């Protein structure tokens, strides 16, 4: 994997470069970091789902993933696992899918209209325009059933100190989203971490 990446991008492009900062740049970094730390603990939500949990979307997901779990297609089998009569269970890994905005980038009416990640405008203001997702951790609390209506509530858990990576210099931002059903019961959580960075110029 590493060797293939080196051949694709070049050995030098994977090496961490050394920064040389002047006083003005150091001051700008301090100002940005103060703004970023003010975002830690910021909450937003609810972000509603356009559709109730439905069998068609479950089927498409299962076909794409090659998941043939009978609980996702057979109400009789799903009932044994606690599903309401006539309903199937949704794959737990679909949790985020129900509240995503899609290409329109719009949540349905009734959703929170604030920026879901308030750190983003600060990054843009200071020129940290590149982004890469680094990891995602999901925890499942209880099943999601056909007919449920999910919503998401997000919190900025942390923003790292400034990091020098092979891609560039930037900050890791960790966001925790809690998903609830129509009964305001938590069905699961997702911890999502990104790196917002300024790419290094090729050597």
Residue 45, domain CATH: 3.10.129.10
User: What is the rounded distance in angstroms from the CA atom of residue 197 to the CA atom of residue 172?
Assistant: 9
Domain count across the chain: 1
Local confidence band at 21 (pLDDT 50, 70, 90 cut-offs): confident
- For residue 23, give both structure tokens: 């006083």
d(CA 166, CA 121): 24
Gap between the terminal Cα atoms of the chain: 22
**Residue 73 within a domain:** no
pLDDT confidence bin for 4, thresholds 50/70/90: very low
| Residue 32 forms part of a structural domain | no
Summarised one tens digit per residue, pLDDT across range 33-66 is 999 999 999 999 999 999 999 999 999 999 999 9
Task: Give the distance, in angstroms, between the CA of residue 40 and the centroid of all CA atoms in the same chain.
Answer: 16
Confidence band (pLDDT; 50, 70, 90) for 19? low
pLDDT at 178 over 90: yes
- Whether the per-residue pLDDT at 11 is higher than 70: the answer is no
The number of angstroms, rounded, from the C-alpha of 181 to the middle of its chain's C-alpha atoms is: 19
Query: What is the pLDDT averaged over residues 14-27?
Result: 72
Instruction: Report if residue 18 sits inside a domain.
Output: no
**Residue 11 counted as domain residue:** no
pLDDT (tens digit, 9 = 90+) per residue, 122-156? 999 999 999 999 999 999 999 999 999 999 999 99
Lowest mean pLDDT among 4-18, 36-50, 73-87, 143-157: 4-18
Please determine, for residue 80, whether its predicted confidence score (pLDDT) is greater than 90. yes
Residue 130 lies in a domain: yes
pLDDT of 25 reads 86
In a domain, 79, yes or no: no
Domain that holds residue 190: 40-53+91-199
């Amino acid at each position: 994997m590493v060797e293939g990446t080196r051949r694709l991008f070049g050995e030098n492009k994977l090496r961490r470069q050394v920064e040389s900062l002047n006083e003005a740049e150091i001051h700008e970094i301090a100002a940005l970091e103060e703004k970023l730390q003010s975002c830690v603990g910021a909450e937003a939500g609810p972000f509603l789902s356009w559709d109730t949990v439905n069998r068609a979307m479950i089927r498409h997901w299962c076909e794409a993933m090659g998941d043939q779990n009978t609980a996702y297609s057979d109400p009789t089998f799903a009932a044994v696992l606690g599903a309401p009569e006539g309903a199937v269970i949704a794959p737990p890994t679909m949790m985020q899918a129900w509240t995503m905005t899609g290409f329109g980038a719009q949540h349905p009416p009734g959703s929170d209209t604030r920026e879901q990640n308030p750190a983003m405008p600060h990054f843009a203001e200071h020129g940290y325009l590149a982004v890469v997702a680094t990891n995602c951790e999901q925890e499942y609390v209880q099943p999601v059933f056909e007919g449920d209506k999910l919503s998401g509530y997000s919190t900025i858990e942390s923003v790292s100190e400034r990091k020098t990576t092979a891609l560039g210099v930037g900050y890791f931002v960790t966001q925790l989203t809690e998903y609830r059903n129509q009964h305001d019961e938590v069905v699961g959580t997702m911890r999502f971490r990104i790196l917002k960075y300024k790419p290094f110029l090729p050597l």
